[in-house]
Amino acid sequence: MRVNITVNDEPRSDEVEPRLLLVHYLREVCDLRAANVGCDTTSCGACTVLLDGKSVKSCTVLTVQADGHSVTTAEGLDGGAEELHPVQAAFRAEHGLQCGFCTPGMVMATVGFLSENPHPTEEEVREGLEGNFCRCTGYHNIVRAVLHAAESA
């Protein structure tokens, strides 16, 4: 089946199997590696991307469901000429990552979360990122990074 998807502001038209998951389309067809395959059960959030600006776990979306829509991955975040996106910069400033495996999904979930709640409390951040799992950090620095990004927006 042919799909037409805008990926990171680039229009694409690709032939895909109807059962191909969006995360595999992004990784295998588009050669984008930020969306990680972590669990295949929507539990970890490592595959989080933005679909028409909304945070989704790409391991639960079929590529054909994204036909006619826009997908943004961590590679497509725009911070301007040679700059990090404000959320990426906040994660760096607050040491909101360790091994980096969950980081792209966590950043994308944060971008989606802050678009819906631009001035969250700490409790709202913890609830908002509940579906994204990090094995390394203990979340304290991630929460600080989200609050930092909210303050700098």
Tell me how far apart the alpha carbons of residues 29 and 139 are, in angstroms, rounded to a whole number: 32
Tell whether the torsion through CA atoms of 66, 67, 73 and 79 is positive or negative. negative
CB 45, CB 81: distance < 8 Å: no
Q: Is 76 a residue whose pLDDT tops 90?
A: yes
Q: With both helix axes pointing from N to C terminus, report the angle between 86-93 and 103-116 in degrees, rounded to the nearest 10.
A: 120
**Mean pLDDT of the residues in the chain:** 95
Q: Which of 107, 66, 68, 62 is nearest to 88 (CA)?
A: 107
Same structural domain, 129 and 106: yes
pLDDT band at 137 (very low <50, low <70, confident <90, very high): confident
pLDDT at 116: 97
pLDDT band at 78 (very low <50, low <70, confident <90, very high): confident
pTM for the model stands at 0.94
User: What's 48's domain CATH number?
Assistant: 3.10.20.30
Q: Which domain holds residue 130?
A: 86-152
pLDDT at 53: 96
Q: Is 80 a residue whose pLDDT tops 70?
A: no
Same structural domain, 54 and 93: no
Same structural domain, 54 and 17: yes
User: What's 91's domain CATH number?
Assistant: 1.10.150.120
CB 108, CB 48: distance < 8 Å: yes
